[in-house]
Amino acid sequence: RSRSVNAMSAPLLLTPLPLRHRQARNRLVLPPMCMYCVDSGDGVPTDFHVLHYGTRAAGGFGAVIVEATAVAANGRLSPADLGLWEDSQVPAHRRVVDAIHAG
């Protein structure tokens, strides 16, 4: 037999989720998934990341968890992983965050 969403549970899924001093608009959460889409190996998010995460947020996820982001260049899973080990990487990550918040 197939499982379906109970009519009584669907509204709860779509209700706001309190998270300490913030609140997600619903209980749908996009889990982290490594996309391996850094082009130059420098850990800097690309337009792909802005579009990928922004469209998921706009599509209805109440919370978006971004993929693995290394805090040291030698700590990445691959050269195509995100990184945040230099101040110069912050503006590109800011674009991703802004796209998620705009969703």
Taking only the tens place, the pLDDT of each residue in 1-23 is 555 556 566 689 999 999 999 99
Instruction: Tell me the per-residue pLDDT of 61-86, one tens digit each, with 9 for 90 and over.
Output: 999 999 999 999 999 999 999 999 99
Buried b (16+ CB within 10 A) or exposed e, 4-22: eeeeeeeeeeeeebeeeee
For range 27-37, the mean pLDDT? 95
Assign 60 to helix, strand or coil. coil
pTM as predicted:
0.85
Neighbours of 23 (CB within 10 A): 11
For the chain, the domains span 28-102
Q: Which residue has the tokens 């990184």?
A: 83
